[in-house]
Amino acid sequence: MTMMWCVIGVFLLMSMGFALSEESHVVVNLMIDADTDPASTPVQIKMAEDALINLTNQIDPKGLSATIYVTEDMVRADRLGVTYQGTMKNHELALHGNRTDEKLSSLSASDQDALLTGAKDRLYGCYVCGGEHVAIKGFRPQAFDQNEETLGVLEKLGIIYDAGFQAGVIYRPGHENATWPYAIEGYNLYAVPVSTYPINDERVYLYDRYLKEEKKLSGTQWYDLLVKKFDESSENGDPMVIIFSNLISGSGDYLDAYKKFLDYAVSRQAAFVTTLQLVDMAASRKRGGHIGAIAQENESRLSANASDVGVIANCPNCDKIINVTVQKGNKCLNCIQN
């Protein structure tokens, strides 16, 4: 277990500020895309950088956690900015392929291997000299485009989860109704479903770019959809997994919707987690939320990667979610003191 994950676990507990119960509080995973437009000009690159900062500036003062999915193009364009994002303890950096709108399924396994290995290595290289590298454990494909060869490459690269799935729309066999992350049979990987919601008899996934460009939703309509999904998740005990692109929600009325939604979720005591932390929680739920459940799950499903995963489980004395690697006696601090 690296020191970095211990620190993140402590930060998560401090930032929540309340006893988290999965049944009474919505678990929110913000996925923030750090993209640049294809063949971006210097002006467009600067706009993409500023838009990303606009998004993270709304979560960092509040101590909210998020996962930032970074393309290799974004690393090339703004390595210093990406490095800075990776130093924030409430951020998780994850891989978003090489470039915006790439199609992995059109590539051979060897070409996918070369592309994703290069992208991961470049993102892994975003660190402060003398400091620790940021562990890259997550991935989401551009436009949800991938195939079986992609999964094999991800496993080879030591990736723990693949967020290229949509609840009730894109799923592995037998997981049609899954809203929480689940183990992918045959691979040392977890599938993470992005949340969906019905609009006019169609389930749409919660991705601002898709809903603005394809469904023509205004910022106000996007905000209303987010609130409806939050309330539904609260009622059903589902996590809420949402994608915000810096190219869409980094400015304008979609930025306004993003700000308003954060305020709404915080006012209702939502628990903001990274995607990797959401995977940990899902593993714990599968085994009944007992202490050590995630460690056992990762040992069997994720092999050597288990030692790099933060271990979140239930305190045996109360229903509070804790990081057992940083809690003395595997109890929450409150129970220890009392």
Mean per-residue pLDDT of the chain: 82
Q: Is residue 273 scored above 70 in pLDDT?
A: yes
Phi and psi at 236, nearest 5°, equal -95, -10
Portion of the chain with pLDDT greater than 70, in percent: 75
Average pLDDT over residues 170-187: 96
- Structure confidence at residue 283 (pLDDT): 87
> Any residues with CB less than 8 A from the CB of 35 and at least 6 apart, and which?
48, 71, 73, 74, 96, 100, 245, 246, 247
pTM exceeds 0.85 for this model: no
Over the stretch 7-43, which tens digit does the pLDDT of each residue have?
334 334 334 433 344 344 899 999 999 988 767 788 9
Alpha helices in the chain (DSSP H): 3-16, 42-59, 72-77, 79-87, 109-124, 148-156, 208-213, 219-236, 246-249, 252-267, 275-286, 293-301, 333-337
Q: What single-letter DSSP state applies at residue 134?
A: P
Structure tokens at 30: 């913000």
- Please count the residues of the chain: 338
H helical segments located in 173-332: 208-213, 219-236, 246-249, 252-267, 275-286, 293-301
Per-residue pLDDT reduced to its tens digit, 83-113: 989 889 899 999 999 988 899 999 999 999 9
At residue 315, the pLDDT reads 52
Residue 1 CB neighbour total at 10 angstroms: 16
List domains and CATH numbers for the chain.
22-274 (3.20.20.370)
Q: From CA 48, how far away is CA 193, in angstroms rounded?
A: 26
